[in-house]
Amino acid sequence: MRSPKAIASFRRLYVHSLDFTPKSYLCTTKRAFLCRPSVNATVINPAATCCFPSQYFNNLASKPYSSSPQMEGIEHRIVKANGINMHVAEKGKGPLILFLHGFPELWYSWRHQINAFASLGYRALAPDLRGYGETEAPGDASAYTCMNVVGDLVALLDAVAADQEQVFVVGHDWGALIAWWLCMFRPDRVKALVNLSVVFSPRIPDRKPLETLRAVYGEDYYICRFQEPGVIEAEFKEIGYERILKGFFTYRSPGPLLLPKGKYFGQPDTPISLPSWLSEEELKYYISQYEKKGFTGGLNYYRAINSNWELTAPWTGSKVKVPVKFIVGDLDLTYNAPGVKDFVHKGGFKKYVPLLEEVVVMEGVAHFLHEEKPDEINKHIHHFLKKF
C-alpha cells in the first residue's frame, strides 16, 4: 500500500500529465511550430510521383474506410508535415475543427463527430497522429516529444488550412494533452478548445512525472509497464491485439489501470464483451490498423514523458489563454486520479486556464466518452463552438 504522504504528493499531478523527449529534436521541430507559414508542410497529390506507391492510396480509399454508412463521404489523403507523412480524414466545408485522438485510438475514433460536424457546416479534420494508423511512425521515443507533435499539427494546419489563421480544436486523452501544449505554445492558432478526459496539468519543477507515478502506483501501473521498449509490445502480441483493444475500450473502473504481467484485464481465458457503443465491425478496423503497425508508436508517447518535463521547463507556470470547455466522465480513471477532482472544482483548473468557460462531468460515463455518448458529446461541443 502506498503511504498517504505519497498519495498527497501526487495531488497536482494528473494521471496523463506526461512529458516527452531529447533536446536534439527541439531544433528539428522548432521552425515548424514557432513560425508561420511552415516551409516543410505540403499536401501530397496521390496522382503525383512520391514515396508512396499508387496502391497505397487505393488502399486508403477502400475498405474499411468505406465499409460502413458512417464512413460515407469522408475523404482521406496524405499530407507531408514537419518531415513526416500524415494521414488525415476529413469531411465538410466551413470553419475547421481539428480532432486529436488518444491511445489506443486512431482518426476513426472521431467518426461520429466527423459526420455530425460536417452536417452542421464545419470542416471536420482528424489525423492519425504521429506513430498511429496510416501516419508515419519514427522508431525511437525521442521523436515523440511535445515539440515534435505540436510541430506536426502546426505544419499540418499550414498545409491544409492556410486560409484560416485560427481553428477549433477538440482533443481526447493524449490528443487532449497535445491540445493543451498547442494552446500553450501557439495560442495564436487556436480559436477555441474543447478537451475531453485529460485536464490541464501544470508543470511541477521538482517532480519528474515517471518517478512520481512509480512512487504512487507501483511498477504494475500501465504507464510504468509501457516504459521498456519491446517488452510490452511482445506481451501484447502474445495475448492478441483483439483482447488488448477490447480490454482498453471496456475499462470502466475509476481506479488506476494496473497491468501485471500475465493478467491483462482479468484472466486470459475470461471473455471480454464489447460495449453497446462499439460493434465487432468497428473493432475490426482498430485491430487491422494495429496489426499492420503494432503499438510502438502509441507507446512511445508514454516513453517520452520525462523528456517532455525537461523540454517544457521554459513554460513552468504558464497559463492556457484560449477559450476552453472541458468534458469528462465520472467513471474515467483520469478524473479519479489523486487530487484531480479538487484541482478541477476548487479553483486550480481555472487559475491555469483563465478562459475556462465550462466543466461538464457526465454521470455513468467512462474514458471513451465521445464514442460511448456521441450525440451528447456532439451537442456539448457544438453548443460551445457556435459562440465563436
Q: State the burial class of residue 50 (Cβ atoms within 10 Å of its Cβ: 0-12, 13-18, 19+).
A: middle
Cα angle 266, 279, 379; round to 5? 105
Q: What pLDDT, on a 0 to 100 scale, did the predictor assign at position 267?
A: 66
Q: What pLDDT, on a 0 to 100 scale, did the predictor assign at position 270?
A: 84
What are the catalytic residues? 173, 302, 367
Q: If you search the block for the grid coordinates 515523440, which residue do you land on?
A: 144
- What pTM does this model have? 0.85
Query: Each residue's pLDDT tens digit in the chain (388 positions)?
Result: 444 444 344 333 333 333 333 333 233 333 333 333 333 444 443 333 233 333 333 344 333 344 444 678 999 999 999 999 999 999 999 999 999 999 999 999 999 999 999 999 999 999 999 999 999 999 999 999 999 999 999 999 999 999 999 999 999 999 999 999 999 999 999 999 999 999 999 999 999 999 999 999 999 999 999 999 999 999 999 999 999 999 999 999 999 999 998 777 876 778 899 999 999 999 999 999 999 999 999 999 999 999 999 999 999 999 999 999 999 999 999 999 999 999 999 999 999 999 999 999 999 999 999 999 999 999 999 999 999 9
What is the three-class DSSP state of 30? Answer: helix
Q: What pLDDT, on a 0 to 100 scale, did the predictor assign at position 70?
A: 63
Q: Is 53 left (phi over 0), alpha (psi -120 to 50) or beta?
A: beta
* Cβ neighbours for 194, distance < 8 A, ≥ 6 positions apart: 168, 169, 170, 171, 324, 325, 326, 327, 380, 381, 384, 385
Q: Examine residue 104 and say whether the peptide bond preceding it is cis (omega within 30 degrees of 0).
A: yes
The identity of residue 221, as a single letter, is Y
> Hey, what's the cell of 34?
514557432
Do the beta carbons of residue 158 and residue 86 sit within 8 Å?
no
